[in-house]
Structure 1
Amino acid sequence: MRGLTADHILLLAIISIYFVSCNKKWRQAFSISIDSRVAVGVFTIIIIAIATFTSLLRLLFEEGTVSPFVEVARLYGIFRPVLIIMLGAIFIHISFVNEKNKIYELYAHLIVVLGGGAILVGLLQGADFLPLNVILNEFYSRDADFESVIKYGRVFGTFDGQPNVYGTFCSLYILICINRIKSSKSVFIIIPAIIIGGLGLMLSGSRGALLGLLISIIIWLILTRSVKTFFIFFILGVCITLTVFIGKDFVQESLVERLSSAIGISGTQSVSLTSSRLPYWNTIFDLFLDNPFRLLWGLPGNIMPPTDNLQLALMSSLGLPGLLIFMSFLVYIIVLQLKYPNPNSKEFISIIVLMILNGVSYPTFLTGRIGDTFWMIASLILISNFYERVKK
């Protein structure tokens, strides 16, 4: 999450206009978002304070290896969730819906519709739809070496040249779809949506997203423990069967082998999920060993290789204390959802589990598109949950 992007310029403009035109309501929304009982706003402020402190320490003690411009960009990356949380608080505060948790339902349905469109873009890319590929390579690439992406035929859609981010979104999308199975009628909409998400996940070749999804679904079903669980099992079985049937002629064999290796059913000697990342991880460990004080203030962005790991990315930016606080907060959210459950608590817990588990192979929370989606989900659920507790 380094730097200001066009969508965040728009976000800043929306919040600024609301601040000028509805100052009183803005202040009320802001006070709710930073209420300690909501948790998410206070946590974000703490993380920003830690990030600012570690950034200053790097500027003071890492002379010659640190760039002020990079540090400012990294700080903005940490600050971005504030804008998302603030927007979520505004949505809830100005809504006319009696039950505040229905605001999240509206957002979830928006993800199902618009997110399905974003996934379809990746599917068309996988089908080698040339006009679309030209646009994606021109405007959504990383300006980086795409040899590994081309080798496996992986797709990235509109997720800035990152197949793992696209795959993470597909997994997140599937989890949100599962909890929208509210009736027999909804099945006819949700089954195609889950199949689209499954095909997108296959084409992404993201092994971490696949493993994270499977484990988070199991946890979600265990938490549900009702007649609905068996119904969900049946629907997921149908979706998996149809996805595999459609995908066998649609997805390249190299991608199938890659994903199969993640769950231990591949017959080939494919490079494991961790082995491909060990060179990066070892470099980061060596940088910390060279100067143990970096455990306090993290690593300068100029010398840091790609982390491909959430925990290492957090420690590189926030230091070890910041990493521990960040992970502790995620555990606290889960405890909060178990203590004060709402209709979307199980879904939210499964999403957190997905983000953490997939974080082993990719810094999920620090990826703009995925991070923004998560913090909007967190703000809408936690703030609406707070409203419902106060009302009672």
Structure 2
Amino acid sequence: MRVSTANRYEATVDSLQQRQRDMAEAQTAMTNGKRINKPSDDPTGAARAERAYLSGQRIASEQRSVDASRNAMTLAEAALGQAGELLQSARETLVAAGNGSYSPAERQAQANQLGNLRSQLLALANQGNGAGGFLFGGQGATTIPFLDTPAGVVPGGTGGQTLLSSTELMPSTVDGQAIWLSARSGNGVFTTAASPANAGTGWIDAGTVSDPAALTGGNYDVEVVDNNGVLSISVLRNGNATAVDNQPYRAGQAITVDGMTLHLKGTPVVGDRFTVTPSAPDLDVFEALDRSIAVLKDPAANPGQVAQAVNAGLRDMDAVMGHMQAARAEAGSMLNRLDALDGRNQDRAVWASTVQADAEDLDMLQAISTFQNQQTGYQAALQSYAMVQRMSLFDYVK
């Protein structure tokens, strides 16, 4: 087989160029720290690295949702804590307003203080989340949650929560309507109230449950009647007589009926009426304050009406405070859950990063050794080419 001089030169140049390409690829790999710079370098390894990369991106996206939810829950928990402090101040103000020696002007001052606390509570209920939305906005996070109207505070958005994930419970808002407008009324089982038409100075307390098994869940009327000249009490259930019928009235005496124990105090008059209705999740903290403020501002309110307003206000403040404490505890529990999700995401992110690194990262020591060998081989090839280039018949034709 005859091999021409040109063919030898061409083969040698091709070999040198291939060695140059190999060295360039090795340099690129050492510069990037990656052994896979294009899929053809290692198709299987490239596929593994791509899967690990995409998994890491999903984990990073989930972590952003966790961070956003944790920020919202932290703000909500802090707001509920501040609301609890304001409610405690309102309770103390109501206790002070119940002082029987206060003049109408002094009760007016206490009512103004309650009005100021109400305004602060409304500001908390409409607190923003720092991202253009509202903490207690429910499913309408960009709509102001509560509107203060002449008829009272009404919801401005939609109840519920906005979730950031379909697989994990990560809320970005809190159901404000359930927190601010839906505490259980009364003592949690039943609600007592005085009729606005009462003419006497009697009032009824919040009552207690003496026998849960005897409760009927009915509506009751406690009526003050005249029994042959004796001021007496009769209790009707859904319009029908009960065991308490024409019981002589003594201020503060317990009235026990169907598992409930009530106390009437003050000086009621014949025709006065008090109601007992089942508790419901409809207690509005703003309406409760408004009722107390209205009576305290009324200079014509008698001692019984003032006592009833104060007693009912204290009962409602206690109910709302308990409700908000439960909501705050739920927010704290959610924060614990988000912390657990954060830790799990960090572990998953480390796993994804490790898998990707194992698939595409370069063993630097081995790469340096390989590059040095390639460099030595390239230099030897250059020297060989220089020697082959001089091997020509024309060198011997002198």
Return the TM-score normalized by structure 2: 0.21
Which has a greater percent of strand? 2
Task: Please tell me whether Structure 1 or Structure 2 has the larger radius of gyration of its CA atoms.
Answer: 2
